[in-house]
Amino acid sequence: MCGIIGYIGERSTSEMLLQGLRSLEYRGYDSAGVAVVDNGELKLLRCEGKLDNLVRQVDPTGLNGSYGLGHTRWATHGRPNEENAHPHRDCSGTIVVVHNGIIENYLDLKAKLTKQGHKFVTETDTEIIAHTIEKHFDGDLALAVRRSFEELEGVFAFVALSANEPDVLVGARNGPPLVLGIGDDESFIASDVPAFLNHTRSAVYLDDGDIAILRRGDVTVVDANGAEQERPPQRITWDPVQVEKQGFKHFMLKEIFEQPRAVRDTLLGRYSLDTGLVHLNEVALDDAFVERLSRISIAACGTSWLAAQVGKFYIEELARIPVDVDVASEFRYRNPILDENQLVIGITQSGETADTLAALKASKEAGATTLAICNVMGSMATRVCDQTLYTHAGPEIGVAATKTFTSQVVCLYLFALHLAQRLGRLSPDAARARLEDLARAPHVMESALEMAPSIVDVAREFYLVGNFLFLGRGHLYPIALEGALKLKELSYIHAEGYPAGEMKHGPIALIDDRMPLVALALDNPLFEKIASNIQEAKARGARIIAITTEGDDRLLPVLDGDRDSVIRLPRHPDAISPLVSVLPLQLLAYHIAVRRGCDVDQPRNLAKSVTVE
């Protein structure tokens, strides 16, 4: 997903732009570029590959300027090379644009502009924006952007400047995020808060259809008709240090170890052990709606979809309301049966995932009530939905979701308890017992993370293996799927998660001494069942990585000390097992990926938020 930064102010523009792009690297990219205006002269530098290639170019030229744009590109149209890197220019070379998203009608526009004499030099859809603005530009960049905005179709966020209209940046949002940073004598426009968080905590999140005009000392937001829009600034409470690695080798490792704090923060203020009540004040579902609630659908993607599957267990067990879970890309196109007596939950850490947003919009149109479970304040999902239940995981920089996943699971458990209480299906005493277990989760997770060093040894044993099978049962089946997804997306090893009970229905044919089996064999009511699966796999030569409970040695007679591995987790209540048992799987994927030399924080082909279909 591309990263955008625009700056206008009194400090070194190139320094502000490069700092901002460095903070956006987590979004994943394959090329980068900056454009600054220095006394009316436009200077442009672009490179293929990482930001360091750009920094090397900037130093010798001492790229000065009083305002400018920067971009990290994640290729959607056109190869990842210098020519296709942003910023892109118009024919005159005085208007430049940086863009995130897809202009779906770019070929149609390109044909029309070519007929009008425009010359194109790249394969990108972005270049169309620069030429469309040029077509409308008569000295008023904001007006030209507003008119261009009307012609563009697709999902896009872009920022433009013109060397012929000094000290103005104009940005437009229709889908992917754009946020303004309002400083004392400077302002920023960027894809995400970390781009300017070291300089200001005052942020303005743009809505779809907004056009932001940044002048020296003044920022206004208008709609495509030029009508001013009220967008009050929000104070960002993140600590800039949170966004740094704090001594960890990778953001992902830091975020794995942040999970106890993230869970603690997500729980904070949302329940009382005295009363045994859950207080989700931010979720205002009226009593009549809750009483007639007939079904809950959850739509999400990737790891968020797996959190949804854990949530299904909690909600159906406690609130006794049927829950359907769907990947958002399927939900949005299968014409789901929805009505005003239903709730659709969209789980999305970024709040910007295209398929999840589309699923939520379709649900609203069908009359359902919508709830976002999201980690980014002010993101699109929180504005599309009727209600939002925020995770408080803090900024998650690593592309692979870790602390946002466990925070999502906590939100779903709280929501299930909340619904059960409102429906009179859970007494305060019963709820208190569960809340006491939940309140222990951060401490249990901290204890569990003490096994981290043992995972390094396991990774050394298995990092060259070509395939993995992950097995789980009940509410740990989604955790097996998540363990497989983590390994796939970080180490590029093929891995498959399976409900353990399905082994005899096909997967057991895969088992031999080259197919290790990661089994979630915690001390719970289904232990005996999964122990049988382990024995069946052992009998066919598989090596086992067993995730077990401290003090439970029932598997030891089955396992071979030299071929198999055992990871012991502190004893904990079964209901919080998804929060605890995912930890060794995250660490296993991380350490195997590191040993394989993979780019752990920015895995190949992946983006932190998939803002296009």
SS (H, E, C) 493-543: CEEEEEEHHHHHHCHHHHCCCCCCEEEECCCCCCHHHHHHHHHHHHCCCCC
Q: How far apart are CA 432 and CA 438, in angstroms?
A: 10
Structure-token pair, residue 398 = 């690593």
How far out from the chain centre does Cα 59 lie?
33
Closest CA to 86 of 127, 141, 119, 115: 127
Name the residue nearer to ligand AGP (CB basis): 304 or 388: 304
Catalytic one of 2, 47, 301, 374: 2
CA distances from 538 to 462, 481, 503, 541, 563 (A): 16, 21, 13, 5, 10
Name the residue nearer to ligand AGP (CB basis): 162 or 609: 609
Name the residue nearer to ligand AGP (CB basis): 483 or 516: 483
Place of tokens 């289904």: 526
For the bound state, the minimum distance from the C-beta of residue 283 to ligand AGP, rounded and expressed in Å, comes to 19
Q: Counting Cβ atoms within 10 Å, is residue 409 exposed (0-12), middle (13-18) or buried (19+)? A: buried
301 is catalytic: no
Closest CA to 168 of 274, 71, 96: 96
Name the residue nearer to ligand AGP (CB basis): 130 or 301: 301
Closest CA to 379 of 344, 348, 343: 348
Structure-token pair, residue 276 = 């045994």
Q: What does the DSSP assignment read for 136-177?
A: H-SS-HHHHHHHHHHH--EEEEEEEEETTSTTEEEEEEESS-
Structure-token pair, residue 325 = 């879970």
Q: How far apart are CA 611 and CA 74, in angstroms?
A: 11
Give the strand order in the sheet containing 295-300: 323-327, 295-300, 342-348, 369-374, 387-390
For the bound state, the minimum distance from the C-beta of residue 270 to ligand AGP, rounded and expressed in Å, comes to 21
Sequence-distant (6+) residues with CB within 8 A of 89 are 44, 95, 96, 97, 127, 130
Q: How far apart are CA 445 and CA 450, in angstroms?
A: 9
Name the residue nearer to ligand AGP (CB basis): 303 or 421: 303
Name the residue nearer to ligand AGP (CB basis): 210 or 489: 489
Q: How far apart are CA 251 and CA 275, in angstroms?
A: 38
For the bound state, the minimum distance from the C-beta of residue 304 to ligand AGP, rounded and expressed in Å, comes to 4
Q: State phi, psi for 327 to the nearest 5 degrees.
A: -65, 140
Q: State phi, psi for 293 to the nearest 5 degrees.
A: -60, 115
Burial 293-319 (b: 16+ CB within 10 A, else e): bebbbbbbbbbbbbbbbbbbbbbeebb
Structure-token pair, residue 334 = 């299968």
Sequence-distant (6+) residues with CB within 8 A of 572 are 437, 440, 441, 444, 549, 580
2 is catalytic: yes
CA distances from 284 to 9, 265, 311, 360, 533 (A): 42, 21, 19, 18, 45
For the bound state, the minimum distance from the C-beta of residue 153 to ligand AGP, rounded and expressed in Å, comes to 23
For the bound state, the minimum distance from the C-beta of residue 489 to ligand AGP, rounded and expressed in Å, comes to 6
Name the residue nearer to ligand AGP (CB basis): 200 or 348: 348
Q: How far apart are CA 388 and CA 449, in angstroms?
A: 30
Name the residue nearer to ligand AGP (CB basis): 564 or 601: 601
Catalytic one of 43, 135, 312, 608: 608
| C-alpha torsion 312→316→319→322, nearest 10 | 90
For the bound state, the minimum distance from the C-beta of residue 386 to ligand AGP, rounded and expressed in Å, comes to 18
For the bound state, the minimum distance from the C-beta of residue 438 to ligand AGP, rounded and expressed in Å, comes to 22
What angle (nearest 5°) sits at the alpha carbon of residue 436, between those of residues 433 and 441? 130
Name the residue nearer to ligand AGP (CB basis): 530 or 610: 610
Q: Which residues bind ligand AGP (CB under 6 A)?
A: 301-304, 348-350, 353, 356, 399-401, 489, 606, 609-610
Name the residue nearer to ligand AGP (CB basis): 66 or 407: 407
For the bound state, the minimum distance from the C-beta of residue 287 to ligand AGP, rounded and expressed in Å, comes to 30
Bridge partners (DSSP) of residue 377 are none
Name the residue nearer to ligand AGP (CB basis): 353 or 533: 353
Q: What does the DSSP assignment read for 440-486?
A: HHHHHHHHHGGGHHHHHHHHHHHTT-SEEEEEE-GGGHHHHHHHHHH
Q: Point out the residues that are catalytic.
A: 2, 608
